[in-house]
A = this chain, B = another copy of it.
């Protein structure tokens, strides 16, 4: 415990902070190493490749987010509050971790070419894994909250979740988490105040 205080973790911390505050492509490996107080060679001994470093950063981040969200759910009282806990978790997770601009996974997706190697690229697989995780958990929590249509509620909450994250990047609206909670309460009402029964407008495809 006393020797090198987790060199690997320090590199991951520095990479996470720089990648998602300044941008991945614009951040050189040398800057990551310097920020971690580590030689470039050490970084390559540990991760071998910048892309692999990014991969491990995202994997660690996904696990941390999962754990953090779980704790927020456990702290909540009612099933409804457990469903809404995702929004508070976003806020506290950002406060607990570094100053990232917004969602690391969406930032990675936005910066990356979206080519044909979608299936084989492990980074894109991480992003899909994040989406899958959020969707499944929201569906489960909506089901436990006795929502009429858990899948529909989950997809609406996922849209609000996306809106909160993009709102953090845009800097607007102010306090997107509180706004999302307000809207979410309208959405998850078990007995929906149906204004009209027509499900939705026609859409292509």
Contact = CB atoms under 8 A, between A and B. Distances in A.
Interface of A: 21-23, 25-26, 91, 101-103, 106-107, 109-114, 127, 131, 135, 155-156, 158-167, 169-183, 185-187, 189, 193, 195, 200-201, 203
B159 A176 contact: yes
Copies of this chain assembled into the complex: 2
B173 A155 contact: yes
Contacts of A170: 106, 109, 127, 131, 162
Nearest to A189: B195
Contact of A159 (B102, B107, B173, B203): B173
13 contacts: A21-B113, A26-B112, A101-B114, A102-B110, A131-B171, A131-B172, A156-B173, A160-B160, A163-B166, A177-B203, A182-B200, A185-B195, A193-B195
**4 nearest interchain CB pairs?**
A163-B163, A162-B166, A25-B25, A155-B173
Contacts of A176: 159, 162
Nearest to A180: B159
Contact of A160 (B91, B101, B159): B159
